[in-house]
């Protein structure tokens, strides 16, 4: 096994990889930007080096500097996490050239699957059904109009180099076609330095269901079952679960086989995800392949009992996957909520700042992947996701019950967070029934927001009570009427006195 691995990332995923390294007795090397000096990943790693100033382009995306740090620190491999350089074929190639193992697929697979048009073509050539769309980049408005006339509106304009919803435009009628193509081109050029866009039929109320796949350098490829990722806001996932509530044994078998076939088409190695859209008639279509570890990998780990990050390390080291497809089980149910530093009352605007109190839920069935702690200041420069909360139960309802409890126990004070939104979401009747598609949040948001607004008011009131109770307890200690209890935290007083008592005191 490797002795030393550099983690070219930050936040919860860097923490996740560092923890896997420690479990395996591998020394971890963290890199950080000047804005991340106090980050949890820096505190947890065995070694940590500054990669540059706050902007990602000068630190987490600074390929030369990262490779130099890997070589200088004696790391044999680089784990790229997700985002940043994780799907960058040029970086993977540079690693290969420098004799550093890139923990992910080979650079040629990254290149092939990194472009939506090329990956769609590769899939079609291998008999994998893809979402109906143009097979080349759009070069004339007339061609675009012809496609739309053939398939009917609405259609989607998508950037071939796209990701994270960038360069994607929904077009309801011919009137807005030209401006949507132009807008998507501009956005894609700015984000990815590539202005190629193509058209896809817009599927009405689909499910986004993806399959975790895994390949090794000995020709083995397996899938680790599905994740339901239809709970999306602006086409980005906010909650995921496994298994999918709409899955049947027959559909799972078909989709799993196709996912493995898709991965075999590019001789895929290491962890990857085949994303599908599933329509009302349960037809499924390849959407794209993510050639890296996914944010939502913990739910797969919970239901399969396979540590995907440890497997990534072993397979990158040259080992074979130590189990066959038939040995992989899918047990119970797991749900993940992505916890963001953002204000659900203000259109989910990012809310960086000082976290005064960060207290995680625990107990049976709960897993935390966090990047924050009490006293941590969330920087403004990066994605505002600060933690993930995953829950496991023997059944879907058991997992939901644990998630409801865990979200109620979770405390983040000092900054706004998405917790109130998630608390409302996991109580919604349609979520409870498992009856939701990618359109659900567009429609349910107004209803959910009146619920979480009421809850935020309640919790603000509770916080005021806590502070009042804390002051009262402190006063008593100061005049020696009660035994001193060390540092008086408002939370401790709250737990000790209970709400009734605090109310009485007020």
Q: How far is the CB of 28 from ligand ADP (least distance, A)?
A: 29
Q: How far is the CB of 163 from ligand ADP (least distance, A)?
A: 4
- Contact status, residue 419 vs residue 339, Cβ threshold 8 Å: yes
Among residues 200, 229, 191, the alpha carbon closest in space to that of 212 is found at 229
User: Which DSSP helix (H) or strand (E) runs through 159?
Assistant: strand 155-159
Q: Based on CB atoms, which residue is closest to ligand ADP, 163 or 434?
A: 163
User: Can you say how many angstroms the Cα of residue 32 is from the centroid of all Cα atoms in its chain?
Assistant: 20
- Rounded Cα–Cα distance for residues 291 and 80 (Å): 11
Identify whether 292 is a catalytic site residue: yes
Q: Based on CB atoms, which residue is closest to ligand ADP, 83 or 206?
A: 206
74 binds ligand ADP, rule: CB under 6 A: no
Q: Based on CB atoms, which residue is closest to ligand ADP, 80 or 206?
A: 206
- Contact status, residue 417 vs residue 352, Cβ threshold 8 Å: no
Among residues 368, 405, 403, the alpha carbon closest in space to that of 388 is found at 368
Report DSSP state, residue 423.
Answer: H
Q: Based on CB atoms, which residue is closest to ligand ADP, 286 or 392?
A: 286
Q: How far is the CB of 388 from ligand ADP (least distance, A)?
A: 18
Q: Based on CB atoms, which residue is closest to ligand ADP, 148 or 287?
A: 287
156 binds ligand ADP, rule: CB under 6 A: yes
Stretch that binds ligand ADP, among 51-59, 64-72, 158-166, 299-307 (CB under 6 A): 158-166
Q: Based on CB atoms, which residue is closest to ligand ADP, 201 or 388?
A: 201
Stretch that binds ligand ADP, among 22-30, 31-39, 155-163, 495-503 (CB under 6 A): 155-163
Q: What is the DSSP string of 6-33?
A: EE---HHHHHHHHHHHHHHT-EEEEEEE
How many binding residues for ligand ADP (CB under 6 A)?
A: 20
Q: List b or e across 185-213, with b for residues whose CB sees 16 or more CB atoms inside 10 angstroms.
A: bebbbeebebbbbbbbbbbeebbbbbbbb
User: Can you say how many angstroms the Cα of residue 378 is from the centroid of all Cα atoms in its chain?
Assistant: 18
- Rounded Cα–Cα distance for residues 38 and 48 (Å): 11
- Rounded Cα–Cα distance for residues 40 and 61 (Å): 20
245 binds ligand ADP, rule: CB under 6 A: no
272 binds ligand ADP, rule: CB under 6 A: no
Stretch that binds ligand ADP, among 201-209, 399-407, 477-485, 487-495 (CB under 6 A): 201-209
- Secondary structure (3-state) at 212: strand
Among residues 37, 73, 75, 29, the alpha carbon closest in space to that of 53 is found at 37
Burial class (CB in 10 A: 0-12, 13-18, 19+), 60: buried
- Show contacts with ligand ADP in window 159-178 (CB under 6 A): 162-165, 168
Among residues 303, 321, 201, the alpha carbon closest in space to that of 252 is found at 303
226 binds ligand ADP, rule: CB under 6 A: no
438 binds ligand ADP, rule: CB under 6 A: yes
Q: How far is the CB of 323 from ligand ADP (least distance, A)?
A: 29
Q: How far is the CB of 461 from ligand ADP (least distance, A)?
A: 37
Q: Based on CB atoms, which residue is closest to ligand ADP, 133 or 243?
A: 133
> Which listed residue (36, 94, 275, 336) binds ligand ADP by CB under 6 A?
275
> Which listed residue (7, 117, 131, 403) binds ligand ADP by CB under 6 A?
131
Q: Based on CB atoms, which residue is closest to ligand ADP, 208 or 416?
A: 208
254 binds ligand ADP, rule: CB under 6 A: no
φ/ψ of 32, rounded to 5, equals -150, 155
Q: How far is the CB of 220 from ligand ADP (least distance, A)?
A: 27
- Show contacts with ligand ADP in window 284-303 (CB under 6 A): 287-288
- Secondary structure (3-state) at 4: strand
Burial class (CB in 10 A: 0-12, 13-18, 19+), 344: buried
Residue 47: CB atoms within 10 A of its CB come to 16
- Rounded Cα–Cα distance for residues 471 and 488 (Å): 9
200 binds ligand ADP, rule: CB under 6 A: yes
Q: Based on CB atoms, which residue is closest to ligand ADP, 201 or 338?
A: 201
- Rounded Cα–Cα distance for residues 401 and 393 (Å): 8
Q: How far is the CB of 169 from ligand ADP (least distance, A)?
A: 11
> Which listed residue (82, 151, 153, 202) binds ligand ADP by CB under 6 A?
202
Among 185, 252, 292, 338, which one carries the catalytic annotation? 292
From residue 382 to residue 421, the character string flagging contacts with ligand ADP as x (rule: CB under 6 A) and all else as - is: ----------------------------------------
- Rounded Cα–Cα distance for residues 406 and 141 (Å): 51
Q: How far is the CB of 474 from ligand ADP (least distance, A)?
A: 50
φ/ψ of 377, rounded to 5, equals -105, 115
Rg (CA), the chain: 24
Residues that bind ligand ADP (CB under 6 A): 131, 156, 162-165, 168, 200-203, 206, 208, 232, 235, 275, 277, 287-288, 438
Would you please indicate which residues are annotated as catalytic (active-site) residues?
A: 292
């Amino acid at each position: 096994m490797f002795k030393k691995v550099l983690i070219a990332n930050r936040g919860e995923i860097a923490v996740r990889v560092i923890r896997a390294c420690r479990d395996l007795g591998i020394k971890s090397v963290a890199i950080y930007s000047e804005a991340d000096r106090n980050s949890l990943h820096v505190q947890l790693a065995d070694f940590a080096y500054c990669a540059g100033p706050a902007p990602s382009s000068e630190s987490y995306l600074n390929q030369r500097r990262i490779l130099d740090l890997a070589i200088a620190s004696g790391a044999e491999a680089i784990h790229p996490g997700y985002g940043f350089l994780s799907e960058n074929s040029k970086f993977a190639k540079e690693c290969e050239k420098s004799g550093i193992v890139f923990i992910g697929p080979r650079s040629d697979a990254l290149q092939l699957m990194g472009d939506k048009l090329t990956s769609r073509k590769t899939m079609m050539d291998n008999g994998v059904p893809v979402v109906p769309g143009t097979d080349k980049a759009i070069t004339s408005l007339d061609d675009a109009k012809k496609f739309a006339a053939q398939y009917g509106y609405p259609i989607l304009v998508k950037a071939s180099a796209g990701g994270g919803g960038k360069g994607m435009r929904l077009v309801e009628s011919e009137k807005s076609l030209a401006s949507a193509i132009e807008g998507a081109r501009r956005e894609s050029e700015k984000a990815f330095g590539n202005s190629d866009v193509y058209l896809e039929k817009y599927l009405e109320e689909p499910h986004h269901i993806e399959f975790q796949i895994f390949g090794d350098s000995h020709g083995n490829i397996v899938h680790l079952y599905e994740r339901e990722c239809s709970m999306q806001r602006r086409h980005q996932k906010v909650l995921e679960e496994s298994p999918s509530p709409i899955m049947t044994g027959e559909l799972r078998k078909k989709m799993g086989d196709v996912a493995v076939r898709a991965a075999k088409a590019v001789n895929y190695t290491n962890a990857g995800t085949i994303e599908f859209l599933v329509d009302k008639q349960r037809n499924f279509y390849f959407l794209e392949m993510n050639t890296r570890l996914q944010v939502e990998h913990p739910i797969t780990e919970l239901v399969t009992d396979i540590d995907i990050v440890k497997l990534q390390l072993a397979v990158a080291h040259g080992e074979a996957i130590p189990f066959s497809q038939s040995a992989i089980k899918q047990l119970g149910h797991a749900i993940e909520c992505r916890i963001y530093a953002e204000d659900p009352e203000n259109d989910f605007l990012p809310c960086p700042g000082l976290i005064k109190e960060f207290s995680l839920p625990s107990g049976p069935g709960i897993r935390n992947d966090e990047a924050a702690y009490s006293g941590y200041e969330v920087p403004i420069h990066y994605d505002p996701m600060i933690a993930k909360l995953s829950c496991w139960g023997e059944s879907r309802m058991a997992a939901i019950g644990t998630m409801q409890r865990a979200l109620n126990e979770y405390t983040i004070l000092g900054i706004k967070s998405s917790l109130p939104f998630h608390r409302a979401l996991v109580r919604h009747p349609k979520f409870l029934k498992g009856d939701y598609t990618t359109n659900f949040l567009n429609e349910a948001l107004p209803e959910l927001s009146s619920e979480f607004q009421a809850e935020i008011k309640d919790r603000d009131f509770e916080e005021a009570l806590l502070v009042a109770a804390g002051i009262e307890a402190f006063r008593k200690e100061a005049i020696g009427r009660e035994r001193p209890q060390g540092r008086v935290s408002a939370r401790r007083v709250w737990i000790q006195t209970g709400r009734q008592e605090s109310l009485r005191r007020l």
